[in-house]
Amino acid sequence: MNHTLRGLTLATTICLLASASAWSAESLPLPPMKPQATPEKVLAEHLDAVDKSDWNRLVAQFPENGEVHMLNGQVSKGREAIGKLFIGFVTPRPNGLKGIRFIPQSTAKFGDTLVVYWKAEAPFLAEPYYGSDAYITHDGMMAGMVTTFDGSKLKFKQ
């Protein structure tokens, strides 16, 4: 299977997983919100939660009105929708991306917003994947996130 088809298959799988998991995400209680002391600590908590596939910690960072903006104009608004979005990142392969790590390559701070150029690595990836995120923090929470992450561009080991 070529890399493009595999990437499209993963993107489709993650979308289907998020849709199919909607019921289970709704049935899970959302964790209490957990503000951090600084924007840098918000980012550190986010990256560590992704690295450890900790759904509760990921969702605990977002306020009720939090938003995640993705490619093609897709937006997840509110904690419940954001929780559904992150299910794919904590679900094991082959249906999810559990084990993926996002390693900052450079970070710039503008007020309470951090812009990060990162490298994604995982034992199941054939090569690193690069992208950028903007993390908009407010009152110690992840008020918003804008990401260039595109699961269809990941190249998997055979």
End-to-end CA distance of the chain: 9
Q: In CATH, what number is assigned to the domain containing residue 90?
A: 3.10.450.50
Helix%, strand%, coil% for the chain, nearest 5: 40, 30, 35
Residue 5 neighbours by CB under 8 Å, 6+ apart:
none
Q: Is residue 79 part of a domain?
A: yes
Give the model's confidence band at 10: pLDDT under 50 very low, under 70 low, under 90 confident, else very high: very low
- Give the mean model confidence (pLDDT) for residues 95-117: 97
The conformation of residue 72, written as its DSSP 8-state character, comes to: G
Cα gap 105→116, rounded to integer Å? 7
| 78-92 mean pLDDT | 95
| Residue 110 within a domain | yes
Report yes or no on 155 lying in a domain: no
Q: Answer whether residue 158 is part of any domain.
A: no
Domain count, the chain: 1
* 28 found inside a domain: yes
User: Does the structure show a pLDDT above 70 at 56?
Assistant: yes
Instruction: Judge whether 30 lies within some domain.
Output: yes
Kindly report the pTM of this predicted structure. 0.82
Give percent above pLDDT 90 in the chain.
82
Q: Does the residue 157 lie in any domain?
A: no
Decide if pLDDT at 4 tops 80.
Answer: no
Write out the residue range of the structural domain in which residue 125 sits.
Answer: 3-149
| Rounded average pLDDT over 90-99 | 95
Indicate whether 98 belongs to any domain.
yes
**Which of 13-22, 112-121, 136-145 is predicted least confidently?**
13-22
Position 27 confidence tier, pLDDT thresholds 50, 70, 90: low
**What is the rounded CA–CA span in Å between residue 71 and residue 126?**
23
Q: Examine the pLDDT at 12 and tell me if it is beyond 90.
A: no
